[in-house]
């Protein structure tokens, strides 16, 4: 197992390098020239006094200065990539890339990418953990019940509700829930993350935060119930039709034991993939939810960075998500082995 994990980690490193290079190439194909934009902005502060020739000379000087600062003073994409990674020196001879801890600079926020990402990431993780727990906590039992009572009125009702939740766009539910819970019932606030002007700490902070997150959580949970419920139901239905389940029933085992110890364990394998995927998804935000409820999260950061061509932020986040996906695949593969002893990594 240890050898297997080590091998996978080596593969992952290679994958990250290859993918990072591809991503870097792709983002540099997008028309965007930060050095040109910055030089142009600076030359415009010189409102008078220069002839056309002098202005052009000064502009070229500024352009070159900025290109050297950003490491883009060459057309060789490999060198530019290596500079970005910190494996090749910049014009001044210094190594200043990812490996040296320079994760980039956000031109929109005028701050390092790490500082820009910190707060949204924490907010996203916080809300996603609860959304995932609530969704799984409702969807899996509901899926099991629907599978066990397949064809019943309960099953049909849940099917209809979940298909609606699955099919309709998220923003529609955002508007609906805001109208219901804020405008009509006045229970929850429509936007924000805490009571304006408050500086709560500890338990009070947690309660206040959960009060403001309640509506987005309800929306996120409702919208994600559909897929997990139907998936669990399908797996359980298949598992319940297996011969071993008939045998278990024939042996006289209690129905609960049959369902949870035998059927569910068999149904768990495909469900585990989804669950682990969901937990890995706690790092990614929802643009719609965050926009509608005024949350400062990763979805909003991503979309605003794309709109403003803040590519340092985007490329770092993409790299991060690539790494998370690779790690997630490894975790899933290892988890399979624990869930199903028949699946083991060969020595």
Q: What residues line the site for other proteins (CB under 8 A)?
A: 30-33, 36-38, 40-45, 47-52, 55, 92, 105, 109-111, 118-119, 122-123, 178, 182-183, 186, 189-194, 196-197, 199, 291-296, 309
**Complex with other proteins: residue 105 or 173, whichever CB lies closer:** 105
User: What does the alpha-carbon distance between residue 63 and residue 71 come to, in Å, rounded to a whole number?
Assistant: 12
**Complex with other proteins: residue 186 or 252, whichever CB lies closer:** 186
Residue by residue, DSSP assigns 213-236 as HHHHHHHHHHHHHHHHHHHHHHHH
**Complex with other proteins: residue 40 or 150, whichever CB lies closer:** 40
CB of 53 to other proteins, least distance (A): 8
User: What does the alpha-carbon distance between residue 92 and residue 185 come to, in Å, rounded to a whole number?
Assistant: 63
CB of 89 to other proteins, least distance (A): 14
CB of 256 to other proteins, least distance (A): 44
CB of 44 to other proteins, least distance (A): 5
**Complex with other proteins: residue 36 or 336, whichever CB lies closer:** 36
**Complex with other proteins: residue 181 or 264, whichever CB lies closer:** 181
The token pair that represents 302 in the structure block: 């991503």
- Ramachandran class of 186: left when φ > 0, alpha when ψ lies in -120 to 50, beta otherwise: left
Question: 245 vs 75, 150, 272, CA distance in Å?
Answer: 65, 16, 20
CB of 146 to other proteins, least distance (A): 35
**Complex with other proteins: residue 118 or 246, whichever CB lies closer:** 118
SS (H, E, C) 168-191: CCHHHHHHHHHHHHHHHCCCCCCC
**Complex with other proteins: residue 227 or 304, whichever CB lies closer:** 304
- Angle in degrees, CA 301, 305, 309, rounded to 5: 180
- Ramachandran class of 66: left when φ > 0, alpha when ψ lies in -120 to 50, beta otherwise: alpha
Residue 92 DSSP label: T
CB of 115 to other proteins, least distance (A): 9
**Complex with other proteins: residue 69 or 150, whichever CB lies closer:** 69
Residue partners of 59: CB distance under 8 A and separation at least 6: 39, 40, 43
CB of 40 to other proteins, least distance (A): 6
CB of 296 to other proteins, least distance (A): 6
Q: Which of 9, 215, 55 is nearest to 131 (CA)?
A: 215
Q: Which of 38, 21, 60, 44 is nearest to 105 (CA)?
A: 38
CA 157 to chain centroid: 31
């Amino acid at each position: 197992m240890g050898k297997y994990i080590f091998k996978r980690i080596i593969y992952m490193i290679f994958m990250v390098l290859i993918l990072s290079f591809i991503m870097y190439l792709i983002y540099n194909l997008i028309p965007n020239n930060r050095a040109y934009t910055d030089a142009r902005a600076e030359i415009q502060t010189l409102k008078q006094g220069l002839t056309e020739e002098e202005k052009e000379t000064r502009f070229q000087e500024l352009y070159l200065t900025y290109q050297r600062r950003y490491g883009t003073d060459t057309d060789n994409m490999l060198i530019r990539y290596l500079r970005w990674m910190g494996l090749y020196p910049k014009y001044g001879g210094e190594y200043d890339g990812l490996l040296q801890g320079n994760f980039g600079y956000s031109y929109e926020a005028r701050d390092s990418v790490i500082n820009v990402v910190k707060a949204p990431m924490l907010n996203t993780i916080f809300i996603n953990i609860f959304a995932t727990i609530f969704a799984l906590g409702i969807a899996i039992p509901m899926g099991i019940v629907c599978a066990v009572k397949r064809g019943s009125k309960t099953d049909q009702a849940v099917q209809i509700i979940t298909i609606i939740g699955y099919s309709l766009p998220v923003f529609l539910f955002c508007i609906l829930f805001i109208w219901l819970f804020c405008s009509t019932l006045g229970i929850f606030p429509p936007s924000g993350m805490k009571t304006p002007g408050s500086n709560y700490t500890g338990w009070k902070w947690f309660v206040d935060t959960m009060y403001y997150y309640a509506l987005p959580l309800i929306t996120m949970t409702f919208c994600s119930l559909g897929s997990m419920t139907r998936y669990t139901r399908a797996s359980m239905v298949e598992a319940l039709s297996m011969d071993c389940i008939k045998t278990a029933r024939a042996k006289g085992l209690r129905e609960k034991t049959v369902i949870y110890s035998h059927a569910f364990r068999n149904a768990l394998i495909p469900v585990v993939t989804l669950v682990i995927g969901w937990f890995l998804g706690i790092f990614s935000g929802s643009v719609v939810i965050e926009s509608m409820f005024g949350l400062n999260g990763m979805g909003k950061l991503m979309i605003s960075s794309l709109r403003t061509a803040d590519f340092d932020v985007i490329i770092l986040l993409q790299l991060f998500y690539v790494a998370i996906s690779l790690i997630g695949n490894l975790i899933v593969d290892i988890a399979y082995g624990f869930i199903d002893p028949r699946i083991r990594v060969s020595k």
